[in-house]
Amino acid sequence: MSIFEKGSLYVGTYFDIPVKIHWTFGYIIFYIIYTSHQDNMGVIGALWFGVFMMSLFLCVILHEYGHALAARRYGVKTADIILTPLGGIARLLKMPDKPLQELIVAIAGPMVNVVIAALLYLLLAFGMGVNPLGIDVENAYDFKDNPALLLSMIMLTNIVLVVFNLLPVFPMDGGRVLRSLIAMRVSKVKATLIAARIGQVFSAVFVVYGIYEGNFILALIGLFIFQGAYAEYRFTKAENVMQTTTIGDLGHKEYDSLQDNDLIINCKELIKYSNQQFFPVYSGNHVMGSISRETIAEAEDSLFYQPISILPMKPVFILPADTPWMICYQKFSQDLSDIILVSEEDQSTVLLDKWTFYEQMEQKKLIKSS
């Protein structure tokens, strides 16, 4: 794996989950320098302030690991954890289907921060003999020669993270906690709609109060919450369609296929008269893989009398007609395959290519046309 991947810096893999830092995280360095200069901290003070900021982001990573490891318990994998200036993102491949499982996964992150705050409180109160809450606000970031103050600020910030994350609004953890509790009584889609509406009420309060008080950051947070609630509802509704709609009525009953010993020159002739973008390649009755129209067209002249099987192919999945759309979407979106052969009850197969599938998704407004 490259240390730079799609705008992120790869840090390492821990508990089989890659950790990456988004390039925008570099702004934190400028924030540390700017704040240190504004508050006249000096070089040593700036370094201590940097230690404080990095400690907070370590807590954020641990928070995300709370989600990821709880999800793993229910068979849900995490693609990676990405650290941004606004926090961390544990990219779960899906959320657990059962409400109780989603509740546990959602609350696991904030509980990590509760444990961190509790341990720091015990260390400060009983190990160092100081009052963890006795902070001089005017000198809250004067960490030089005062490790107790540093630990106290980390403790308090973890408490703030718990409170903020458990607000009953999307996309915060509290929104998912609320949804999972409601989903114990109604469907997930309806539970999401109710939770989203509650979140939008909160967002309206934030916006109005923020504008009234001249606190535009609070107003922006309100707008962020409103948009997050709307996006979560749309996503959940689309996910429900993808899980309840099957692929049996998709694809082409008549399609061209190739044999592994077909010469490339003959295959080039075939694509002149075929509209297919992808062709299954068979060895006898066994499907070997699929090859794209583009790959055939770009084959060099020196290969004309070679068998088509020497060209690169992708795997072909054979799935029953009652397979949910979600399974196909995962295989196509992860570029695992270009075509799926749908097995019908009469033992025949229907060819479903990824572009046909995406067109169907566009028609149902599950994705936007590019």
Q: Edge-to-edge strand order for the sheet containing 258-259?
A: 258-259, 278-283, 286-292
Confidence label for 70 from pLDDT (cuts 50, 70 and 90): very high
| Average pLDDT over every residue of 162-174 | 84
CB 202 within 8 A of CB 167: yes
Q: What value does the mean pLDDT take over residues 336-358?
A: 82
Percent of the chain with pLDDT over 90: 19
pLDDT at 296: 92
d(CA 104, CA 96): 10
The confidence score (pLDDT) of residue 110 equals 93
| Angstrom distance (rounded) from CA 105 to CA 292 | 41
Tell the CATH superfamily of the 258-363 domain. CBS-domain (3.10.580.10)
At residue 2, the pLDDT reads 41
Instruction: Look up residue 231 and give its two tokens.
Output: 């996006």
Q: What is the pLDDT of residue 91?
A: 85
Domain ranges of the chain: 1-166, 168-244, 258-363
Angle between helix axes 147-165 and 99-122 (nearest 10 degrees) is 160
Q: How far is CA 245 from CA 238, 241, 242, in A?
A: 11, 6, 6
Task: List b or e across 177-200, with b for residues whose CB sees 16 or more CB atoms inside 10 angstroms.
Answer: bbbbbbbeeeebeebbbbbbebbb
Average pLDDT (212-232) is: 80
What's the chain's Rg over C-alpha atoms?
27
| H/E run at residue 4 | strand 4-5
What is the band of 281 on the pLDDT scale with cuts at 50, 70, 90? very high
Q: What is the per-residue pLDDT for 3?
A: 41
Sequence-separated (6 or more) residues with CB below 8 Å from residue 198:
168, 169, 178
What distance in Å separates the CA atoms of residue 202 and residue 213, rounded to the nearest whole number?
A: 16
In angstroms, the CA 208 to CA 261 distance is 70
pLDDT, one tens digit per residue, over 225-276 is 788 777 777 777 777 777 788 887 777 778 889 999 999 999 999 988 888 8
pLDDT interval class at 69 (50, 70, 90): very high
pLDDT class for 4, splitting at 50, 70, 90?
very low
Residue 10 near residue 4, CB atoms below 8 Å = yes
pLDDT at 140: 54
Length of the chain: 370
Residue 7 has pLDDT above 80, yes or no: no
- In this predicted structure, the answer to whether residue 131 has a pLDDT above a threshold of 70 is yes
Distance from C-alpha of 243 to C-alpha of 330, rounded to nearest angstrom: 12
Mean pLDDT of the chain, nearest integer: 82
Q: Does residue 319 contact residue 343 with C-beta atoms inside 8 Å? A: yes
- Check residue 367 and give its pLDDT: 65
* pLDDT of 370 above 60: no
Residue 97: pLDDT over 60? yes
The answer to whether the predicted template modeling score (pTM) of the entire model surpasses 0.85 is: no
Strand order in the sheet with 317-320: 317-320, 339-343, 349-353
pLDDT bracket for residue 107 (50, 70, 90): very high
pLDDT at 43 over 50: yes
Q: Which residue has the higher pLDDT, 309 or 3?
A: 309
- The predicted pLDDT at position 199 comes to 83
